Amino acid sequence: MELKILSLKGVEYEGKINSLNIGTTSGEITVLDHHRPLITILKKGTAIIKDVKDKRTELKIDSGFLEVGPDNQVNVLID
């Protein structure tokens, strides 16, 4: 799936990934390939990204929004 994380500074992350583990106001979720469409509010914490080569990237998040689209694309807007 394609992930794009945007902040006021610009693109924080962009690329193909296998999974995204992230905290929402409803609890922690893991977004995998072909996840159901979803829009949710993010809470302060750390997003853990695993790319297609199994490289792990961690990104601190204060707040934001997550959108999983029906086209296997994930967009995250953060502060």
Domain residue ranges of the chain, discontinuous segments joined by +: 1-38+51-67
Per-residue pLDDT of the chain (79 residues; tens, 9 = 90+): 999 999 999 999 999 999 999 999 999 999 999 999 999 999 999 999 999 999 999 999 999 999 999 999 999 999 8
pLDDT at 27: 96
SS3 readout for 14-73: EEEEEEEEEEECCEEEEEECCCCCEEEEECCEEEEEEECCCCEEEEEECCEEEEECCCCE
Beta bridge partners of 29: 22
pLDDT at residue 71 in the model: 93
Six-digit token string for 69: 């689209």
Handedness of CA 57, 34, 52, 17 (dihedral sign): negative
Report pLDDT for 58.
Answer: 97
